[in-house]
Amino acid sequence: MLRKLGKARLGMGVGAGEMLIVDGISSQGAHVSSMLPLRDYLPGASSPETAIWEPAVSTALAQAGKISGSLQVSVSDDWVRYWMVAPPAGLGSLAELRALAANRFEQLFGAAAESWQIEADWRDDRAMLACALPKSLITALGEVSRQNGCTLGSIVPEAVRLINRDAGSLSDDGWVCSFGSHSFLAILRAEGRLLSARQFRFDLLPTLPEVLARLETEALRMGLDMPQSIFLLGDAPPMVELPDRPQLRIVPIGRQLALPTPIGLDRKTDAYRLALYGAMN
């Protein structure tokens, strides 16, 4: 029997190339009620700043039919930007901290901060991970979900969703690497303190040795020793033997989690995976 998520949770995945909604889970799999290619419904899709999201969101929810409940949205890191914000001593207010994060965003990505929604754990007075989502996406999700009678429960970037989900399996020391379809976010922590946050983009999924080379380069750039623990989340590269690094501890968390079979879809796409993150967690 199909377990309708309805009043509980509806999962929407905003993937790199498609948008998808899961509205029920059974022993046979997860029911896909809506799936559409973004290239046909997202004007200005060549850039997150210029993309117009309302047509895609409206079509996806119309395809899903009459639904109600809490819509949990997970967004591919293709549409997200990550960076580290280190508040200086004596910073006076939350407004100043937000301005600092916005200024750093513009320095790193060469885009106007007003087109993005910037979020971080603003209560922390230490270095923190910041992320940005296109404001046009957030606005469209809020307006269209309200018009369709469902509640917008959350909009969470892919890496943040994974890190929160697997927080109990992660150490306070070492690298945490979250892999999406075209990038991975690498976070370096020591005793729970953030030392580095870097988003690496790729066309083809790098091999594990290639990932390690990027992490070693980043540690060297930061003037830090290379940690001996690495946690891999999401669709990470396959494990391989590393005889030249016998002390290195690599923990692949994401590949241990099996996803239910999609009903109404012929393959497990990145948008399907993202939709399940919201529906199941």
User: What is the predicted pLDDT for the residue at 117?
Assistant: 97
226-237: average pLDDT: 93
Q: Are 192 and 167 a contacting pair, CB within 8 Å?
A: no
- Cβ neighbours of residue 45 closer than 8 Å, sequence gap 6 or more: 38, 39, 51
Q: Give the helix/strand (H/E) hosting 145.
A: helix 135-147
Mean pLDDT of the chain: 90
33-43: average pLDDT: 92
254: confidence class by pLDDT, cuts 50, 70, 90: low
In order of 66, 138, 157, the CA distances from 79 in angstroms are 28, 12, 8
User: What is the predicted pLDDT for the residue at 195?
Assistant: 94
User: What is the predicted pLDDT for the residue at 25?
Assistant: 83
Burial (Cβ within 10 Å: 0-12, 13-18, ≥19) of residue 243: exposed
| CA pair distance 257, 253, nearest whole angstrom | 7
Q: Which of 159, 156, 212, 155 is nearest to 181 (CA)?
A: 159
pLDDT tens for 116-136 read: 999 999 887 789 999 999 999
Q: Which of 76, 62, 71 is nearest to 12 (CA)?
A: 71
Least confidently predicted of 3-12, 61-70, 99-108, 140-149:
3-12
- Cβ neighbours of residue 189 closer than 8 Å, sequence gap 6 or more: 171, 172, 173, 174, 176, 195
| CA pair distance 14, 60, nearest whole angstrom | 10
3: confidence class by pLDDT, cuts 50, 70, 90: very low
Q: Of all residues in the chain, what percent carry a pLDDT higher than 90? A: 63
Coil vs helix vs strand at 164: helix
Asked if the model's pLDDT at residue 183 lies above 60, the reply is yes
Coil vs helix vs strand at 219: helix
Q: Give the helix/strand (H/E) hosting 29.
A: strand 29-37
Looking up tokens 């030392």, which residue turns up?
195
User: What is the predicted pLDDT for the residue at 17?
Assistant: 93
Q: Which of 61, 54, 7, 1 is nearest to 27 (CA)?
A: 1
Residue 276's identity, in one-letter code, is L
Asked if the model's pLDDT at residue 1 lies above 60, the reply is no
Asked if the model's pLDDT at residue 256 lies above 60, the reply is no
